[in-house]
Amino acid sequence: MKELILEMEEYAKEKNIPIMQKEGIAFLMKYIKSSHVKNILEIGSAIGYSAILMASCDPEVKVTTIERDETNYMECLKNVKKCGFDNKVNVVFQDALEVNLAEGTEYDLIFIDAAKAQYRKFFEKFQYFLAPNGVIITDNLKFHGYVGKSNKIESKNLRQLVGKIEDFIEFLNTNEEFETKFYDVGDGIAISARKQNEK
């Protein structure tokens, strides 16, 4: 397993595929273990790096991960098979915004780590599949240090992307249904939990 993880890190570096920073994935795994998370939905598999590490947290953890890029999807399947997690990690080849989850499906944790410009759409779509005490975790909210400095970015495309992440952070901060805590680990992580109705 350790060898495979190192191989995946090397492959991602070589092919310039974004995978979660080590500090971020360590934080995520610690959260999964301490909160006894069992059922995870991941938006954006890439090569399966975070899905495999999340699934390795506990024998009972199951991960459904969605990937729309065919090359990444095939690589993810290969890696899942290599570590013998076929029964723990279900890889879905589709655009997450087009996926139809079965009614009544519930996840303890929904992890969003796909197209940054679509974060809000992902959040709004999948929040209905969150278990009562579940959380939605989003990664890359610092986006390599650019977030908060979009007015200084020269590249129009990058400026627009960072602007969308800033809008998403604003959406989390003003969301009346969810309470979000931000953590300065890895590339910036947010944990959003449904507000409990005060009786």
pLDDT at 151: 79
Token pair listed for 174: 């003003």
> pLDDT by residue for the chain (199 residues), tens digit each?
899 999 999 999 999 999 999 999 999 999 999 999 999 999 999 999 999 999 999 999 999 999 999 999 999 999 999 999 999 999 999 999 999 998 889 999 999 999 889 999 999 999 999 999 999 999 999 998 889 887 788 888 889 989 899 999 999 999 999 999 999 999 999 999 999 865 4
pLDDT at 197: 67
pLDDT at 149: 85
Q: State the DSSP string of the chain.
A: -HHHHHHHHHHHHHHT-----HHHHHHHHHHHHHTT--EEEEE--TTSHHHHHHHTT-TT-EEEEEE--HHHHHHHHHHHHHTT-TTTEEEEES-GGG--PPTT--EEEEEE-S-GGGHHHHHHHHGGGEEEEEEEEE--SSTTTTTT-GGG---HHHHHHHHHHHHHHHHHHH-SSEEEEEE-STT-EEEEEEPPPP-
Q: Which fold has domain 2-194?
A: Rossmann fold (3.40.50)
Residue 40 pairs in a beta bridge with 63, 109
The model carries a pTM of 0.94
pLDDT at 199: 44
